[in-house]
Amino acid sequence: MAKQRTGFRKFLFITWRIILIAFLSSLLYVLICRFVMPPITMTQTVALIQGYGLKRDYVSWNEISPNVKLAAMASEDQLFPNHGGFDWKSIEKSINAKPSRRKRHRHEAGGGASTISQQTAKNVFLWQGSGIGRYIRKVPEAGFTKLIEWTWGKKRIMEVYLNVIEMGPGIFGIEAASRAYFNKSARNLSRAEAAMIIASLPNPKKYTVKPASRWVLWRYPHIMEQMANLDGDPDIEALMH
């Protein structure tokens, strides 16, 4: 009996050490990514394994057109400047929605109640996918979301988000997408071009920008309308420049 108690205590001690090491390592990596772009993400690794390649070119905040930042907020997260990482009203609405409506809401918004902060945490530190893996991911995703909100700030979150997300088969980040689709730098994208790229985000492998899929052709004018609605909002404007 004493041996069993000793063995159990040893197990708890080892488990606690593993959890502590994992937490401290994660925190260190979060702090490093505050200043350095992620060398590679799990999503980018999967794209390489699947044969899509890896086209990316990380650029700084000032090398990204304000139109892109506005389009991202207009389409993905209009409360981004004001929330602490989570849009609780949208989460509640998604939970209470009927199953068919919930599925449609996720499809239309490219993540349902997921904020830009949550999408950044998922893309940089975790994995994609649905099913049970999606639910397993939610706990660490929430933790990483709060960590980057506390340590990075909104501009850094947006900068990393626009550099790491997939915007086409094997195309990651706004600079690579801008070069691939419009043969120009991300700093020179027009409102319409930015909206077209952002419109692909629910499924960039399916909703292609070039040639423009029916989804992108339908979705990007709506994003432009929302961009116009957000013009003049001081909190939004502060995150565009």
pLDDT at 104: 42
pLDDT at 102: 42
Give the domain range for residue 29: 1-33
Q: Residues 117, 21: one domain? A: no
pLDDT at 4: 62
| Range 36-40 average pLDDT | 94
Q: Residues 233, 146: one domain? A: yes
pLDDT at 96: 61
- Cα distances (Å, whole numbers) of residue 56 to 21, 117, 127, 204: 31, 21, 18, 15
| Range 45-68 average pLDDT | 95
Does residue 20 have a pLDDT over 70?
Answer: yes
Q: For 199-238, what is each residue's pLDDT tens digit?
A: 999 899 999 999 999 999 999 999 999 999 999 999 999 9
Q: Residues 162, 116: one domain? A: yes
Q: For 99-132, what is each residue's pLDDT tens digit?
A: 554 444 434 444 456 899 999 999 999 877 766 7
Q: How far apart are CA 219 and CA 221, in angstroms?
A: 6
Q: Is residue 172 helix, strand or coil? A: strand
Q: Residues 185, 79: one domain? A: yes
Q: Residues 27, 133: one domain? A: no
Does residue 12 have a pLDDT over 80?
Answer: no
Q: Residues 105, 211: one domain? A: yes
CB 57 within 8 A of CB 185: no
Q: Residues 26, 127: one domain? A: no
Q: Residues 138, 151: one domain? A: yes
Q: How far apart are CA 34 and CA 28, in angstroms?
A: 10
Mean pLDDT, rounded, of the chain: 87
Q: Residues 128, 13: one domain? A: no
Q: State the total domains in the chain.
A: 2
Q: How far apart are CA 77 and CA 91, in angstroms?
A: 12
Q: Residues 22, 117: one domain? A: no
Does residue 21 have a pLDDT over 70?
Answer: yes
| Range 81-101 average pLDDT | 72
Q: What CATH number is given to the structural domain containing 80? A: 1.10.3810.10
Does residue 14 have a pLDDT over 90?
Answer: no
Does residue 38 have a pLDDT over 80?
Answer: yes
